[in-house]
Amino acid sequence: MPPKLCALCNTSRPILKRPKTGQQICKSCFFLVFETEVHNTITESQLFQSGDRVAIGASGGKDSTVLAHIMKTLNDRYNYGLDLFLLSIDEGITGYRDDSLETVKQNQKEYNLPLKILSYSELYGWTMDDIVAQVGRKNNCTFCGVFRRQALDRGAAMLGVDHIVTGHNADDVAETVLMNIMRGDIARLGRCTAICTQGEDTIKRSKPFKYTYEKEIVMYAYFKKLTYFSTECIYSPDAYRGHARTFLKDLEAARPSAIIDIIHSGEAFEIRDEVKRGQKLQQTCKRCGYMSSNDLCKACTLLEGLERGMANAGITDKGVKQLNAAGPTPDNLRTIPFFQMNTVGNSGPSPSPNPWPLDSGPSG
Amino acid sequence: MSCENPTTDPDALMNRRPKFDKAKTCIKCKIAEGNIVIRHAVYCKDCFFPLLKTKFKRSLEPFVNRLPNGPRKKALNPSGNLLIGFSGGLGSTVLLDLVHKSYFSHRKPRESGGEVEAVPEQQETGAGDRYRDPRQERVWKKAAVCYVEVAGAFPGMKDRTEDIQRIVESYDDFEFVPLKIEDAFNGEWWESVDQCPSSSLLNFDISNEELPFFQSDSTRLTPLERLHTYLSRLPSPTAIPSTIRTLTRLLLLYTAHSTSSSHLLLGTSLTSLSISLIASVAMGGGFGVSEEVQEEWIPPRSGIEGRKEVGVRVVRPLRDVVNKECATWAWWNGLTVVGQETVPGFKQTIGGLTKDFIIGLERDYPSTVSAIARTCGKLTPKDEAGGQCVMCQRPAQRGMEIWKQRISVRSLADLEEAPSGIPIGTQENQPSLSPYLCYACHATMTSKSSRANPSSTNGPKLPTSTSDSKTVSNLVPLPVWVTARLFGPADKVQAEDPSREGSGDALRDGEVWRNVELGREEMRTAVKDFLLDQDE
């Protein structure tokens, strides 16, 4: 029996079976199709325009490490004409971020990309270690998630970029679709399959790996010998998401196309108009200017709760009532700096001076 | 949302509510001691029965009259008869009992016999109704119960038709319509449901993603052998129960149509509805997710001259009732539940995994199942349907092939130019099934398992195809309604390449014959790459 050949080039020996298509292919064909599919996603969705300043949300994990590599590769290969930056958020969890931030700094050197590391303590005056010390292990994910989202936008505004790309992959998107159906989160269900989200007051955010399987990202990193850290957060794996993730992995094992089939499902439906009309309108936070559904954004509410020693204030309705009952907000309360979109034209100077210097990394 | 580490904190996932709200007294009558807890509320036995009956009627009666969601007080005047889909499972056993108790027992047969005629909306509360009390009359003139036996598909599975028949005959007012799953491949059954017979059969090549189809000479095969061939060639274990489900659904719909039924009732409980919604999403059926809750099926043209096609409304009156309530109703009423045999290997399919997952969630967090159903009830398809899928006959979305080609490069030829909209693996002049399918049915027929084949140890156990034990052909027969549609005026749902417009029109105009009239040699040449053995 002749040896089996790569299903694509038909000349080399296959070394892997693609989780996405089931085809057995060789290493060079895998690199080619992996990169081309991301390129197709970018061009079909018209994510970028030449001259765009794009920040890569870099955590040092596998997704963002491969994303940084791919963005650099495709930008050079197809002349996207993008100014790329690396943007990292330091949550301030001892022993969790330190190593992965080193990976990001290594990427900075390797790809010669400017890096900005923004820390929770710099922005909010609290590290996650401090927060956990006050609120305990319960609910601390709420703080971290809300703070990280804002921090990325704020870091991007500081860099004066037009666009943030994140390493969310197909598994993440599929899992979010399932999770939002199961917990009845209509608003998020409506937007979680969009490749690019942009509100009036937020920086464009997109997911070039939307159709890329997590397993293939790992394979790519493995064959390209990219280093990354896969540290689990020491405080709290997201338990609810954990349920959905375990279920999704089971579905994928039963039929690998399940991931892409769920995304297809998520793209095929939308929220009925009459339901949409009942949803809260987006506004801006009266205290910090960030997008919000209420007068105060979630981050400001959480921060006020922390500052006033009422950590539940931003988490439960009861907590909000207790906070309101405790009297007006003190004048000297620590607040988050006012958010301003800091867009930079392709040719013009930054409309406001950037007070936040770029990190120079270990090389200085 | 709570997000703690469940390994260190057992209460991290969600706060477990107390099983009993505040007291042990029934929250309805506030007198009797409670007998059952339903989603944290306590009810006594006497209050439970009207409670369930109300939930059942609330989900059914707004959809009885031709215009759905009419005023609740309006007299019930369906435009046709009633068909109840009965599987022998808990839900359909309870449904049968509720329908009988609510609308048939102690009620007089409806006036005027003969053909069922549509009642115009304005006559529904007209002068004719003034002298009769609609509450004393049956709502539907006739009711039938249809059971589809699937035992033929799986070796060793017990045929339970007789048990089912005994149950149905214990109710005086229902006609029993027994079917077999292989009827989906049976021309005689097709004629018996008043459809135009096809003089020939079609086979399709399941090994090619484009699914090209050919005229078949395999009339020598029995319907059961055709079913076995079909199931044994499916590419994943998941595809088998999902296909059985689709075939059963279509058998019921055509039976409803042939019995002039305006309504087909299914015993889907809230629990099973949530399972099918999530499973449907996981199998790519997001476009039709609202159809899982409520659907209006209009059959494609039957081809019989002068026949007026009337739609069938599929209603799931137990969609607000959880399994526990069904089980309690059955227990307190002494109902016999025949039960359904599980398809072997079902646990490792998407349907089986979803069922285990949702039932596990329901046990600890009873509100999850209703959250799923409520959320899906708020969804609607994003685009207009491009046509009706020839397999499941649900609305199908356009552009499936282009989408698939864009997100996954399957050949180096695709790299030479940007995705152009030419479907994958197109064969010149060879009509194919793919453009007539919805995304979910296409995935069922083409999406491979990570394991070798569905007949492997993990998948549902199937009989070996009897068409030819030595030849493993990739040619698979099509269900009768698919053949009928492809010979007739089927609409393509997938976007076409303009350069192939001619061949598309030929198919659309019902001129498939001109393209499929191939000699044996030509057929062999066209599919030789896909045949594992040259025997066929």
Using one digit for the tens of pLDDT, what is the confidence trace for A181-218?
988 888 888 888 888 887 666 788 999 999 999 999 98
**What's the whole-number average pLDDT of chain B?**
78
Of the given ranges (A6-10, A314-318, B416-420, B438-442), which has the lowest mean pLDDT? B416-420
Which of B375, B382, B415 has its CB closest to that of A268?
B382
Average pLDDT over residues B228-241: 93
Q: What angle do CA A52, A56, A61 make, to 5 degrees?
A: 165
Of A20, A37, A236, which is closest to B4 when you measure between CB atoms?
A236
Q: Contacts of residue A35 in chain B, CB cutoff 8 Å?
A: none
Chain B residue closest to A271 (CA)?
B379
**Among B344, B375, B406, where does a domain finish?**
B375
The C-alpha of B182 sits at a distance from chain A's nearest C-alpha, in angstroms, of 26
Q: Does A140 touch chain B (CB under 8 A)?
A: yes
| Best A17, A265, A317 residue to mutate vs chain B (most B CBs within 10 Å) | A265
- pLDDT value at position B132? 57
- Contact state of B8 with A270 under an 8 Å Cβ cutoff: no
Residues from chain B that touch A247, judged by Cβ atoms under 8 A, are 353-354, 357
How far away is chain A from the Cα of B442, in angstroms, using its nearest Cα? 11
End position of a domain, from candidates B359, B375, B391: B375
> Which of A32, A178, A183 has its CB closest to that of B371?
A183
Residue B509 or residue B395, greater confidence? B395
Flag if B283 and A258 touch (Cβ within 8 Å).
Answer: yes
Chain B residues within 8 A of A235 when measuring between CB atoms: 5
Mean pLDDT throughout A348-357?
Answer: 40
Mean per-residue pLDDT, B444-452: 80
Residue B415 has its nearest CB partner, among A36, A235, A251, at A36
Give contacts of A215 with chain B, Cβ < 8 Å: none
Q: Which residue of A has its CA nearest to B376?
A: A181
Q: What is the CATH number of the domain that holds B303?
A: 3.40.50.620
What is the 8-class DSSP label of residue A55? E
Higher pLDDT, A305 or B427: A305
Kindly state whether residue B149 falls inside one of the protein's structural domains. yes
- Nearest-CA neighbor of B333 among B138, B93, B172? B93
The answer to whether A33 and A51 have CB atoms below 8 angstroms apart is: no
Q: What is the DSSP letter of A209?
A: T
pLDDT of residue A298: 82
User: Do B179 and B100 share a structural domain?
Assistant: yes
The reply to whether residue A265 touches residue B280, judged by beta carbons under 8 angstroms, is: yes
Mean of pLDDT values over B101-107: 83
Closest CA to B186 of B214, B154, B225: B225
Whether B161 and B256 map to the same domain: the answer is yes
Chain A residues touching residue B425 (CB < 8 angstroms) = none
Cβ of A33 and B376 within 8 Å? no
B440 contact residues in A (CB cutoff 8 A): 261
Give B14 to chain A, closest Cα distance, Å: 9
User: Residue B387 is inside which H or E element, if any?
Assistant: strand B387-388
DSSP B350-383: HHHHHHHHHHHHHHH-THHHHHHHHHHHTEEESS
Which of the residue ranges B24-33, B303-312, B383-392 would you say has the lowest mean pLDDT?
A: B303-312
In tens, the pLDDT along A298-338 reads 888 888 888 888 777 767 777 777 777 777 777 777 788 77
- The pair of three-digit structure tokens given for residue A242, joined into one six-digit string: 């954990």
Instruction: Assess whether B260 and B152 both reside in one domain.
Output: yes
B311 pLDDT higher than 80? yes
pLDDT score recorded for residue B4: 42
Is pLDDT of B74 > 90? no
Distance, in Å, from the CA atom of A338 to the CA atom of B152, rounded to the nearest integer, reads 70
Which chain A residues are closer than 8 Å to B361 by Cβ? 182, 243
Is residue B395 situated within a structural domain? no
Minimal Cβ distance to B278: which of A9, A181, A189: A181
Tell me: do B276 and B166 sit in the same domain.
yes
Burial environment of residue B267 by CB neighbours within 10 A (0 to 12, 13 to 18, 19 or more):
buried
Which residues on chain B are in Cβ contact (under 8 Å) with A253? 450
| Residue with more model confidence, B200 or A258 | A258
* Within a domain: B429: no
Prediction ipTM score? 0.83
pLDDT tens readout for residues A212-240: 999 999 899 888 988 777 666 777 655 55
**Domain total for chain B?**
2
pLDDT given at position B533:
41
Q: pLDDT value at position A360?
A: 43
Min Cα–Cα distance to chain B from A109, Å: 32
- In 3-state terms, what secondary structure has residue B33? strand
**Does the pLDDT value for residue B513 go beyond 50?**
no
| The pLDDT value given to residue A342 | 56
Minimal C-alpha gap between A355 and chain B (Å): 35
Lowest average pLDDT, out of A77-91, B439-453, B496-510, goes to: B496-510
Q: With a cut of 60, say whether residue B536 has pLDDT above it.
A: no
Q: Do B321 and B243 share a structural domain? A: yes
At residue A285, does pLDDT exceed 50? yes
Confidence of residue B8 (pLDDT cuts 50, 70, 90): very low
**CATH code: domain of residue B45:** 3.30.40
Q: Are residues B168 and B276 both part of a single domain?
A: yes
Last residue of a domain, one of B375, B403, B433: B375
SS3 of B70, please?
Answer: coil
Tell me the per-residue pLDDT of B320-371, one tens digit each, with 9 for 90 and over. 999 999 999 999 999 999 987 788 788 889 999 999 999 888 777 778 889 9
A247·B284 Cβ contact <8 A:
no
Cα of A296 to nearest chain B Cα, Å = 19
Whether B330 maps to a domain, the answer reads yes
For residue B258, the distance in angstroms to the closest alpha carbon of chain A comes to 33
List the A83-90 sheet strands across, edge first.
A115-119, A83-90, A53-57, A163-165, A204-206, A196-197
CB A104 within 8 A of CB A74: no
Enumerate the residues of chain B whose CB falls inside 8 A of the CB of residue A270.
379-382
* pLDDT higher at B9 or B58: B58
Arithmetic mean of pLDDT, A139-147: 80
Q: Cα separation of B230 and A183, whole Å?
A: 38
Between B275 and B128, the higher pLDDT residue = B275
Q: Does A254 touch chain B (CB under 8 A)?
A: yes
**Concatenated DSSP letters for B252-276?**
HHHHHHHTTEEEEEE---HHHHHHH
Mean pLDDT of the B125-134 span: 50
Residue B228 in domain: yes
Q: Is A51 left (phi over 0), alpha (psi -120 to 50) or beta?
A: left
pLDDT tens-digit map of B21-58: 567 889 899 999 989 988 788 999 999 999 999 999 99
The answer to whether the CB atoms of A137 and B349 lie below 8 A apart is: no
- Nearest-by-CA chain A residue for B375: A184
Range among A96-100, A243-247, A278-282 with highest mean pLDDT value: A243-247
CB pairs under 8 A between A and B: 192
Is B172 a member of any domain? yes
Domain of B23? 17-55
User: How do beta strands B201-205 and B213-216 pair?
Assistant: antiparallel
Residue A31 near residue A220, CB atoms below 8 Å:
yes
Q: Residue B487: which pLDDT band, with cuts at 50, 70 and 90?
A: confident
Cβ B448–A237 below 8 Å, yes or no? no
Shortest Cα–Cα distance, B475 to chain A (Å): 21
Closest residue, chain B, to A275 (C-alpha)? B378
CA distance A328 to chain B (A): 27
Place of tokens 């710099």: A122
Closest by CA to B341, choosing from B162, B71, B88, B82, is B88
Instruction: Kindly determine whether residue B443 and residue A186, on different chains, have CB atoms separated by under 8 Å.
Output: no
B407:A41 CB<8 A: yes
Query: Based on the domain organization, do B354 and B257 belong to the same domain?
Result: yes
Pair B41, B60 in one domain: no
Please answer yes or no on whether A254 and B278 come within 8 Å at the CB atom.
no
CB distance B349 to A254 below 8 Å? yes
Dihedral (CA of B113, B118, B124, B128) sign: negative
Q: Does A128 touch chain B (CB under 8 A)?
A: no
C-alpha to C-alpha distances, B503 to B117, B309, B399, B422, nearest whole angstrom: 42, 29, 18, 14
Q: Do A271 and B380 touch (CB under 8 A)?
A: yes
pLDDT tens, position by position, B164-182: 999 999 998 899 999 999 9
pLDDT value for B305:
57
Q: Which of residues 275-294 of A touch B (CB under 8 A)?
A: 275
- As a whole number of angstroms, the distance between CA A256 and CA B141 comes to 49
Give the pLDDT score at B317: 96
pLDDT higher than threshold 70 for residue B374: yes
Most confident residue range from A109-118, B13-22, B522-531? A109-118
Name the residue with higher pLDDT: B4 or A25. Answer: A25
Average pLDDT over residues B506-528: 35
CA-nearest residue to A141 within chain B is B3
Structure letter (DSSP) for residue A15: -
Contact B3 A142 (CB under 8 A): yes
Please give the DSSP secondary-structure letter assigned to residue B61: G
Q: Which range is least confidently modeled, A171-180, B355-364, B428-437, B463-472?
A: B463-472
CATH 3.40.50.620 domain span(s) along chain A = 47-279
Answer yes or no: do B375 and A181 touch at CB < 8 A.
yes
Instruction: Check CB contact of A99 with chain B, cutoff 8 Å.
Output: no
- Same-domain status, B340 and B286: yes
Residue B10 lies in a domain: no
B51 and B90 inside one domain: no
Interface of A with B in 21-60 (CB under 8 A): 21-23, 29, 32-33, 36-37, 40-41, 43-44
Q: Please check whether residue B84 lies inside any domain of the structure.
A: yes
Q: Give Cα B276 distance to the centre of its chain.
A: 10
CA atoms within 13 A on the CB side of A82: 29
- B363 compared with B427, residue with greater pLDDT: B363
Give the side-chain half-sphere CA count within 13 A for B41: 13
- B38 and B87 both lie in a single domain: no
pLDDT mean over B424-449: 81
**Quick check: A101 contacting B, CB < 8 Å?**
no
Of A70-74, A83-87, B404-408, the least confident: B404-408
Average pLDDT over residues A123-135: 85
Mean pLDDT computed over B71-97 = 89
**Nearest Cβ partner of A268 from B287, B375, B412?**
B287
Residue A177 pLDDT greater than 50, yes or no: yes
Q: Residue B419 — very low, low, confident or very high, per pLDDT cuts 50/70/90? A: very low
- Give dist(CA B185, CA B183) in Å, integer: 5
- Output the six-digit token pair for B396: 């199908």
Q: What is the pLDDT of residues B320-332, one digit of tens each?
A: 999 999 999 999 9
**Class assignment of domain A47-279?**
alpha beta
Q: Domain check: are B174 and B283 in the same one?
A: yes
For residue B4, the distance in angstroms to the closest alpha carbon of chain A comes to 5
